[in-house]
Structure 1
């Protein structure tokens, strides 16, 4: 059951519940939504833009938890829908969709999983799905298929492409290099680590966590004398340890800039929090590199290469949404 609150001309709050709302619960929701009235209608015949049915938003999760803390039970999901027009296409199709009307089926997901597919031509499937498997990996999977006596499934081939990728396995950086017929004694990773081994300087920890630490200055901490009880604040000097970490989140930010940049920022914060015995993030920066935006015709340097159709988001979309996402989280 879905209940609608708000103004059909501007914004609607859709509340999905397990059972009818009591009068008390309705009054609480009216207050929660900024005195937006309950419409008492099963549907609203107008155009709206809102979240995709299959994607419960973080906002919905927070809103639902708030209602639980208010003593309102039985609420499954709450989402916002902005009034729109038939011509309006200014929304992110990765996250939102346009509704011709708000009905009792707006949260209904009627999708069935596809059946398991047997992959008989792994090389062709690799090209078709863009899995970036090299010839050795394709050969390995073909031999594995023969050994098992059956074709590999699509999920098995796709899963292998992920867990055995350079991102996860670091095959190139940890691999053995043979140049001009001579095997090199060090991998790329060993060469990178060698710099800190020969010149540790002020390094405290490196290549042990997802973040490295160096010695910092002696700073004064203003904190309670004891952390387990209410106590007076005191000033205590301590030897600080600093970290400066970079996090790349290229493809997620290209596909969905706001959440891609937000989770990239969150991953960077997570890695520092988990370093050693834990640390406190103090500041964050974000750098964006995109293709030419081609917003004006008087930029001759942008004509050096042929313009291509944007597959996911335009450079302008990336710069605006990613900036909002990174700053919103970090």
Structure 2
């Protein structure tokens, strides 16, 4: 069941529970929602914007965890909905507009499609915008013949995602043939060769999704023993520093706040999981966009005509992405302490 808290003329919290809320838990929730009263109604009329039923927001995950720490049991999901007019604009990438809120707010009435066999891989590539190259399409056609069956939609789509901006191993580890001659090493092996020849202070590289280098000798203030209550003491140890760079170009272009936030989260995740684990202490962020055109007194930005942006403007990206990366880092105790910004445009022939 879903319970509503708040002011229907401004915003409301929708709380999904497994069972009725006790009087004690009701008081806790009202306190949590800044004294927002519980609305004694199963449904609310009017127009609201809020998250889609199919997308549990990170905000909801945090909110539910807070209720668990408050010993409120049975909370499944909490989302916030804002009152709006029927014609009010909203972010269609993240939100949905609802004509009223009711008990089916979080129901997902979707039936899974059956397996689809692909007759024409090239046509399917164009239809779904998979960006497969001609060589990749030829490879899949040959694979289909070798398997003596048609490939499915999930197989073709999955193959198209292998070569993402994060992971180009199928190219980096591939065999390079230049002018008819097969090269003795792959591109990835060439990249690894640098650290192999000049390891310097490298402790670990290419073993995890993070690298480790020798750090300075540091002083630690910690319990004398870790398996029982004990006195604190200071001791010297040889530190190891984890280094990780995470790109999130396309997600941040489409939805800057969450794109940059999950990029920061991926970097934290990989360092926590590297080796025997490391502690996230500080992060950096680098933002590169087209000209922001924030200030008219920048003559170099007027050399090109501002284009119509498909997703977000450069200013949207710079502001929202900065907020998103900082927000996620702060929640995990890793502040962004430095970074850089580069805005750049270039014309090559008649292409900008």
Q: How high is the TM-score relative to the length of structure 1?
A: 0.87
Matched, 1:195 2:194: yes
What is the alpha-carbon distance in structure 2 between the residues aligned to residue 37 and residue 171 of structure 1?
56
* CA drift at 1:74: 4.2
What are the ranges of 5 or more consecutive residues in structure 1 without an aligned counterpart? none
Q: What is the match of residue 292 of structure 1?
A: 291
Change (3 A) 1:6 1:212: same
**Greater Cα shift, 117-126 or 178-187:** 178-187
Deviates more, 1:70-79 or 1:9-18: 70-79
Query: Conserved in 2, the CA contact under 8 Å of 1:162 and 1:168?
Result: no
Contact 1:221 1:235 in 2 (8 A): yes
Kindly tell me: are residues 276 and 103 of structure 1, through their superposed partners in 2, closer, same or farther at Cα, counting changes over 3 Å?
closer
Give the Cα–Cα distance (whole angstroms) in 2 for the partners of residues 155 and 126 of structure 1. Answer: 12
Secondary structure in structure 2 of the residue aligned to 1:286: strand
Contact map agreement 1:258 1:324 (CA 8 A) in 2 = yes
Report what 2:26 is aligned to: 26
**RMSD of aligned residue pairs (Cα, Å):** 2.6
Q: Does 1:133 pair with 2:132? A: yes
Q: Which moved more, 1:19-28 or 1:197-206?
A: 19-28
Q: CA deviation at 1:21?
A: 3.7
Within the alignment, does 1:2 sit opposite 2:2 as a pair? yes
Q: How many residues align?
A: 329
* Equivalent-residue separation in structure 1 for 2:191 and 2:168 (angstroms): 17
Q: Residue 183 of structure 1 corresponds to which residue in structure 2?
A: 182
Label 1:233 to 1:130 Cα distance change in 2 as closer, same or farther (>3 A).
Answer: same
1:9-32 superposed Cα distances (whole Å, 9 cap, x missing partner) = 322112233444444443333233
Distance 1:250 1:165 in 2: 11
Aligned twin of 2:266: 267
Aligned residue number for residue 79 of structure 2? 79
Q: 1:92 to 1:200 in 2, by over 3 A?
A: same
Q: Distance in 2 between matches of 1:98 and 1:215?
A: 52
Residue aligned with 1:240, SS: strand
How does the TM-score come out when normalised to structure 2? 0.83
- What pairs up with 1:15-94 in 2 under 5 angstroms? 15-89=15-89, 91-94=90-93
Distance 2:214 2:280 in 1: 16
The whole-number CA distance in structure 2 between the counterparts of 1:213 and 1:293 is 36
